[in-house]
Amino acid sequence: MAGVKSRYKFERLMGQVFITLLSIAFAAFMLEMVYRFVTDDAHPKKMFPLRTVFHVPKPYVMFTAKPDLEGVTNSLGYLGDLPSKEKPTDEIRIFVLGSSVVFNGRPPFPRILQKRFAEAGKPNIKVFNYGIDSSVSRQDVARLLFDIAGYQPDIILSYTGQNDMFDAGIDPRVNYPHRFVLYEAHPAFYTDVGDYKWMPTLALGSKVLRDVFNYQIYNSMTKGLISENYPKRSEFRPLLAKSYVQNLRLAAMLSRDLGAEFLAVFPPSLHFKKNRTPAEEAGFTRFGSEDGQEIKALIDSETAKYKSEFRFINFSEIFKDETAEYFEDTFHLTPEGNRVLTSKLIPLLDELSAEHLRKRKNNLIKPAINGLIREDEFIF
């Protein structure tokens, strides 16, 4: 009789445990569904952004925006239309390379450049925006080779550098694209089952867990791929400056081989603006601790070694003494800031255009790279 009672109590306890676990599972499921419904889609903060419409993986260049977004991107994943297949004899094609400071804006400054040239009676000058969010200068070299070379460029404007030089929350390793470590950490590619990060992988399936434990998930998945003792960028900035300038040299050499003029511009920074507005000060948080003067000095010193190889202008301080609001955050400009920027770029581009036309007239342009096939001509 005692054994029957003990068994009954045990079975009753197991039933209660099962109902409790079932209730917890149902409550967790409902929490997850409600949370997904009332919140925006988001990856863990330290993983953002990796796979969005503005970060679509692509061979060689790492990523572009999503191709063929109606009214936004072309078939290669860049803003606006592709250059025409047949290039008019008097056309000057300017391709702008860079990161979010080129891609973003209301509107992006390459579009303002295009409008300014048209208003100045120079509709033959066409400006193409090949900027991509989060890009670094080594990616720009790849874009120049694989996505621009087949379109007969006349001028290459490299407007980049912040993601190379500042602690922007990207992969800290030199020349590594944005969040490249997460591709290395992809769970599908572990060969040893013992190394499989099953708990953080399971957690990725829950938006609640992804948002609450975002940093823990990121750190668990990437542990061992980048040494915990890997120095911050501030500790090896001379190397970053050297790498950035070497990438500019590569882009300049490739531009020459394509018969194009090359101009590199380091973008302006809120670090140098003396009179920040309250809104600018509020936006000066993400990179506020960086030493802008040190970075500018390193870049100027490094580029001075190669001034005979390519044109370089440092725009870091162009808003230094201004009082109006020109920055949305540390690097991204307001619409008025972009208008001021274009007014400073146009004389430089006009000079390059005139020089290029002179060379073309005197038959001085002899591209060393010929016969490249545009990506849109490939048959897949």
Instruction: Write out pLDDT tens, residues 123-182.
Output: 999 999 999 998 999 999 999 999 999 999 999 999 999 999 987 656 778 888 887 877
Residue 313: helix, strand or coil by DSSP?
strand
pLDDT at position 236 over 70: yes
pTM of the model: 0.87
The pLDDT-based confidence of 49 (bands split at 50, 70, 90) is low
Rg of the chain over Cα atoms, rounded to whole angstroms, equals 26
Residue 50: what pLDDT? 60
Residue 45: what pLDDT? 47
Triad 170, 302, 276: Cα angle to 5°: 60
- Mean of pLDDT over the chain: 86
> What is the distance between the alpha carbons of residues 224 and 185, in angstroms, rounded to a whole number?
10
Residue 51: what pLDDT? 61
Burial class for 165, CB neighbours closer than 10 Å (0-12, 13-18, 19+): buried
Q: Residue 130's beta-bridge partner residues? A: 97
Tokens found for residue 286: 């993400």
Residue 213: helix, strand or coil by DSSP?
coil
pLDDT at position 288 over 70: no
Residue 48: what pLDDT? 46
Triad 249, 252, 257: Cα angle to 5°: 125
User: Mean pLDDT over residues 18-26, rounded?
Assistant: 88
User: Mean pLDDT over residues 242-259, rounded?
Assistant: 96
Pick from 78-82, 114-118, 221-225, 315-319: least confident: 221-225
DSSP assignment, residue 311?
E
pLDDT at position 311 over 70: yes
